[in-house]
Each structure stands twice: as structure tokens, then as C-alpha cells.
Amino acid sequence: MQTRRVKTDGLTQQVLEAGEGPLVVLLHGFPDLAIGWRAQVAALAAAGYRAVAPDMRGYGGTDRPGGRDQHTILHLVGDVVDLVRALGETSAVVVGHDWGAPVAWHCALLRPDMFRAVAGLAVPFQARRPGGPPIAAMKAISARTGRGDLYIARFQADDAHLPFEADVATALRKAFYSYDGATPDANQSTGFLPPGEAFLSTIRDDVPLPPWLDEAHFSQYVTTFEASGFRGPVDWYRCLDLNWALTAFVQDKRIHQPSLFLVGERDPVRHYAGAHEAGQSAWLTDLRGQHVIPGAGHWLPQERADEVNARLLAFLAEIDGTG
């Protein structure tokens, strides 16, 4: 397993990679890094695949464009396409977790010629819906239900990234803890924020690290985010309405490649990211499996590494005819 920088057309990307064979690209989410996929990179390499996990645009050792509008879904898909080409490959299986899942789904949606199969973890495929941009719809749902603002709506503010940068270690500790499957119900985040509260202020300051995250691994996250900041990662959220405007051309388009979906039973994202078990087959026409992992929270690649590895390898064996 090695870390190196790869020059692509759009930017220079830092990647974690290992193995030889058919390419599998692993896309992380917020607030995560390529190192979150270490267990999958190792398992895929051992099984005869070339596994590559990039730090995504705005994260870690990858370039960090300055403009907010440089973080749209089209930029993010383009980065993955550029990476596949820069690696000397013409096709890949793409796997995404959290924010990486929508990027993976859109890779499959927009470039079926390159991405031969797709897997999403935690966030299901969400088709573009007519009727208007998503942030206004989120605010309307919050107002109607009285549950407070969804943090995604709060992240639209120009200064939304600053609380994360004020104390990076505390911010990351809170984020990992509040979305973990081992965290008691009362301490898990729901994603909805009462008036006057921010995402981080709803979580106690003295929370521990989740069981899967030791101090040495955690320090890698802290050191990296202290250097790279959170502006770029939060800009992904601030492009949601722009993404809606840019993707009218895929309205009602479906994904026909083999697909897989995994979600933790206790993942807080299930409170607000749409139907996880119902209705996906209408959009994923070759859905090979959707699995709810009992007791698991949000951080599946690390929280339940063995089960994720087993599910991914079984999926790959099925589509490659080796299982």
C-alpha cells in the first residue's frame, strides 16, 4: 500500500493504492479522507484488484480549488474520470461512502462507458426531482415537521466551515462519535438542529473516540485537516442547488450497471437521506443487493470493515464471474 500524487487534467490528486488487476476506485465522504478506506484497499489488493482511494477535491493532499462553484457534482465526477485515465485505465468499478456515494452514483449515471459497476455506502441513489432546488425543500420540511433545520441547510452559510477549523480535533471527534453505531441513541445526531444551535454545539465536548478509531489513526485525520481546512469540503454542500441546476439533462435517467447498496442499521443519515430500502430498484435497474448491517452506524468502511469487505468482494466476484 502506497500514497502518491497523480497529475490529472483538472488537478493533482493524492491517492492511496495497492494491488494489480481490475481497477476499483474508492471515494470518501465528509469529514473523511482516503485513509478511511485502508481496510478495503488491503482486502481488494489481496483479492486481485487494483484498489485506489483518492483524497477528494478540497481534501487532504489533493488540490484545493479556491471557488465555491468549483465543487459541483460535475467537477467531482470529472475528477474521478480524469483519475481513471491518468492511471492508464479505461474502466473501473466505483465505490462511494457518505458524500462519495452520490459522486459514485453520478459516475455510473453519467459515464456508463467507463464505470462498469457501482456500490454506495450510507447514502442511497437519489434521483434529481423536478419542482425546484433542494435547499428550499429541506427548509420547508424542517418547518413543517418542527424538527429544526437540517445541518445541510445550515452549511449553506459562508462561514459554516469556521467552527470546524476553530478546534479541528474536537470537531472531528464529535463528528465521528455522533454518527457511530456504538454511540447511545441519546447521544447520536439526528442531523436536525434546534434554533440557535450549530452542528457541533449539539454534541458534548467530552465525547470519546468511537471503538474503531485509535489515537494514532485519529491524529492522521487531525493533522491533515489542520493543514487543509474545511472550506472545500463544506463547499460540496454549498453547491447542492447549483448541482440541481446543472443536472436537468439527467432528469429521470436510470443506472443500468450492476449496483450494490450498504447501510448501517443505526446510521443517522437514514433520518434524512431518503428511502434506503424502498424504491431504489426503480432507479438501479441491476441492483444486486441492498443490505442493512445490524447495529452499525455511519462509518461502515472502518466501523464494520470485515463485513463491508465481504460484501464488496462477493459483489465483484458475481459481476466478474469468479464467484
* Residues designated as active site: 98, 298
SS3 letters across 202-244: HCCCCCCCCCCCCHHHHHHHHHHHHHHCCHHHHHHHHCHHHHH
Show the cell assigned to 183. 454511540
Give the residues across from 79 on adjacent strands.
none
**What are the counts of helices (DSSP H) followed by strands (DSSP E) for the chain?**
12, 10
* CA separation for the pair 323, 314 (Å, rounded): 7
* CA separation for the pair 256, 220 (Å, rounded): 38
Cα distance from N-terminal residue to C-terminal residue, the chain: 25
Q: Locate cell 456515494: which residue?
A: 101
